[in-house]
Amino acid sequence: MARLKIVNQFDSSFTLDPEAKAALFELLTQENFLAQVAQVVKGDRLEFTQLLFQPVPYTEAAPKGMPVEYEQYHESPDYAIINVPPNFMFKAKIFQPSRLCAIYRKR
């Protein structure tokens, strides 16, 4: 029988190579992608805030699955948080971390 491992702390810090970061930002700001996301989150226009974070395991300290400093965006109706599409991560040659979330401001 598998046992659950409780994670009390998770290091969510990461650094992206400048070229990979630039490639990812270009993909995340394409007009057609912004239009698709705006349709889903019911926003007229979206603006990429250039804020990215690595999702974290649920803990008592991070109950929303994100670093605590980003929870303000989760709770705000003026922002949308999306999972970065895996194909964007691949195209930008980002393999670590394996998952990222991006924050957009609704306009």
Per-residue pLDDT, 62: 74
The total of structural domains in the chain comes to 1
Contact predicate 79/105, CB 8 Å: yes
Contact predicate 43/34, CB 8 Å: no
Output the six-digit token pair for 80: 């949308």
Per-residue pLDDT, 64: 84
Has residue 63 been placed in a domain? yes
Q: Strands 79-83 and 101-106: what pairing?
A: antiparallel
Per-residue pLDDT, 32: 95
- Express each pLDDT in 11-36 by its tens digit: 557 789 999 999 999 999 999 999 99
The one-letter amino acid at 33: F
CA distance 103 to 105: 7
Has residue 46 been placed in a domain? yes
Has residue 96 been placed in a domain? yes
The domain of 42 spans: 18-106
